[in-house]
Amino acid sequence: MDIEDIKEKIRREEYELSFHAEKERYEEDITIFDLETAVTDGEILEEYLDDPRGQSCLILGYSQKRPIHIVCGYTTTE
């Protein structure tokens, strides 16, 4: 996966959050701003090329000095 492509999708607001991501975000008090900041300033830690749900990666980024881990993947829906 290409981190610059992912960052551009965030900047253009061309992304969606899964139900699981929303649940985790609320439980950990992570705002959309925090999430977007962490991705746009983040780096890929691991790639999951053979994930049965589709290619994805683990990103580590920070928002307000808080580390945030985000799993990003491409969806097949349009």
Residue 78 lies in a domain: no
> What local confidence, expressed as pLDDT, does residue 75 receive?
75
% residues pLDDT > 70 (the chain): 96
Residue 16 lies in a domain: yes
Residue 11 lies in a domain: yes
Domain region containing 53:
3-73
The string of DSSP letters for 7-49 reads: HHHHHTT-----HHHHHHHHHTT--HHHHHHHHHT-EEEEEET
Tally the domains of the chain.
1
pLDDT per position as a tens digit, 18-56: 999 999 999 999 999 999 999 999 999 999 998 888 899
Amino acid at 13: E
Indicate if the pLDDT at residue 77 is higher than 70.
Answer: no
